[in-house]
Amino acid sequence: MNRPKQASPWTSSETPRKPPDESTGEPEAVGPQPPSPTSEDPGLPLIDLFTLDPSSATNEQIQYCVNGDVVEAVEKSGLHAKHTVLILHDDHSLSRFAADRIYGALTAVDETKPILLILNSTGGDVAAAYLIAKLCREHTKGTFEVAVPRRAKSAATLICCGADKIHMGSLSELGPIDPQFGAIPALALKHSVEHIAELAGTYPAASGMLSDYLAKSLRIEALGFFERVAESAVQYAVRLLGARTIHPQDKDNNATAHRLVYSYKDHGFVIDSREASEIFGQEIVVTNSDEYRLSNALFGIFDFGAWVVNRRFTREFSYVGGHRQGCMVWTKASG
């Protein structure tokens, strides 16, 4: 890799200090730490993770190695020159913490540049997803675009509802945005009641037994609650679809939102680029673009990096924020 020469963070004579230890409140002296990457110093190649001692390597050193390949991939693509490039690659549940990270990355951006969000997530908090899309819209006078290298499922699909362009490839997939409680869809209760009603119609002699079962097992207010949660997902989607700068004339925002929330029987259903184009419009979904190719290259870095961080260092990994400051590594929670 043709990287600028840089001083190794492991040979520096400096001995920085890390944040206070949670158990004592006292800062600990640690070994040499790498500097924050700059345009002249993008970080170290990802392969240098294998030169670190798993027992003594700091989270900052690991982050520095991952960041090197990310910065090189983004800046080699040239897309950072015309876009503000943000990244949300997280195998954990999408939360308000991710929204905070995206907000932090947007505070000093050039708002005349379009925003490109590299998005790989299985979903999570619907409200957090809405806020992320809203933040990206508010911090650019240009377009807000999303590139999906592999998965933008559930709440992550809601983020895509706010995008002017969705860049996808052969392995990219979106999914239904029906909210979940644990592993149970919010609409499951309604569908269960409908199924029992069908059984009662088919087997009238069993209607008394089915009625007793419902009376003993169902709190009627729960049915209304879950339906209201699903309707709130529709409302979020309609708002984001309406905020786009590109509005396909043959697409109705309410119909699109209802389709994403109510039409699919399986929460894990794969919405590929062809179906996404049918849902959002051919003007919105773009396949095999330069933006997608960058996202695919970054996915390879993150996928390999996460594997090494997890297996070699027994730590967790995600990349959320700007392309220079988004890497996060932390120790796995015990138990």
256 in the same domain as 126:
yes
Query: 267 and 288 share a domain?
Result: yes
Last residue of a domain, one of 168, 202, 227: 227
Which helix (H) or strand (E) segment holds residue 216: the answer is helix 207-217
Domain co-membership, 222 together with 298? no
Q: What are phi and psi of 301, to 5 degrees?
A: -65, -45
Residue 168 and residue 276 in contact, taking contact as beta carbons nearer than 8 Å: yes
* In the chain, % of residues over pLDDT 90: 64
Position 52 pLDDT exceeds 80: yes
d(C-alpha 237, C-alpha 149), whole Å = 22
Same domain, 98 and 151: yes
On whether both 215 and 312 belong to a single domain, the answer is no
φ, ψ for residue 52, nearest 5 deg: -85, 145
In a domain, residue 218? The reply is yes
Pick the last residue of a domain from 227, 262, 290: 227
Question: Region 192-196: what's the mean pLDDT?
Answer: 57
Give the pLDDT mean for 216-227: 57
Per-residue pLDDT at 300: 95
Per-residue pLDDT, averaged over 144-162, amounts to 97
| Residue 154 near residue 174 (C-beta atoms within 8 A) | no
Residue 23: inside a domain, yes or no? no
Q: How much is the pLDDT for 41?
A: 53
Q: In this structure, how many other beta carbons lie within 10 angstroms of the beta carbon of residue 127?
A: 17
Please state, in angstroms and as integers, the Cα–Cα distance from residue 233 to each residue in 1, 119, 162, 261, 262, following that order. 45, 19, 13, 7, 10
- What tens digit of pLDDT does each residue of 56-69 get? 999 999 999 999 99
SS3 content of the chain, % helix, strand, coil (to 5): 45, 15, 35
**For position 7, what pLDDT does the model report?**
38
- Tell me which of 202, 227, 252 is where a domain ends: 227
Residue 43 has pLDDT above 60, yes or no: no
Domain for residue 24, yes or no? no
In a domain, 299, yes or no: yes
Residues 125 and 259 placed together within one structural domain of the fold: yes
CATH assignment of the domain containing 132: 3.90.226.10
Identify whether 18 is part of a domain.
no
In tens, the pLDDT along 5-24 reads: 333 444 333 333 333 344 44
Residues 269 and 294 in one domain: yes
Tokens of 186: 């919010």
179 contacts 185 by C-beta, under 8 angstroms:
yes
Say if 119 falls within a structural domain.
yes
User: Do 248 and 325 lie in a common domain?
Assistant: yes
Q: Determine which helix (DSSP H) or strand (DSSP E) holds 295, and give its type and residue range.
A: helix 290-313
Q: What are 332's two structure tokens?
A: 């796995």
The answer to whether position 292 is within a domain reads yes
> Is the Cα dihedral 1, 85, 142, 246 positive or negative?
positive
* 192 and 316 assigned to the same domain: no
Is 16 a member of any domain? no
Please tell me whether residues 167 and 197 are part of one structural domain.
no
pLDDT tens across 246-282, in order?
888 889 999 999 999 988 888 889 999 999 999 999 9
pLDDT recorded at residue 28: 40
At 325 the pLDDT is 85
Residue 309, amino acid:
V
Q: Is 316 helix (H, G, I), strand (E, B) or coil?
A: strand
How many structural domains does the chain have?
2
pTM (predicted TM-score) = 0.79
Q: Are residues 159 and 79 in the same domain?
A: yes
In this prediction, residue 185 has a pLDDT band, given cuts at 50, 70 and 90, of low
- Residues 284 and 294 occupy one common structural domain: yes
What's the pLDDT score for residue 286?
98
Domain that holds residue 188: 181-227
- Residue-wise pLDDT for 71-84, tens only, equals 999 999 999 999 99
How much of the chain, in percent, has pLDDT values that exceed 70?
Answer: 72
Cβ atoms of 169 and 288 within 8 Å: the answer is: yes
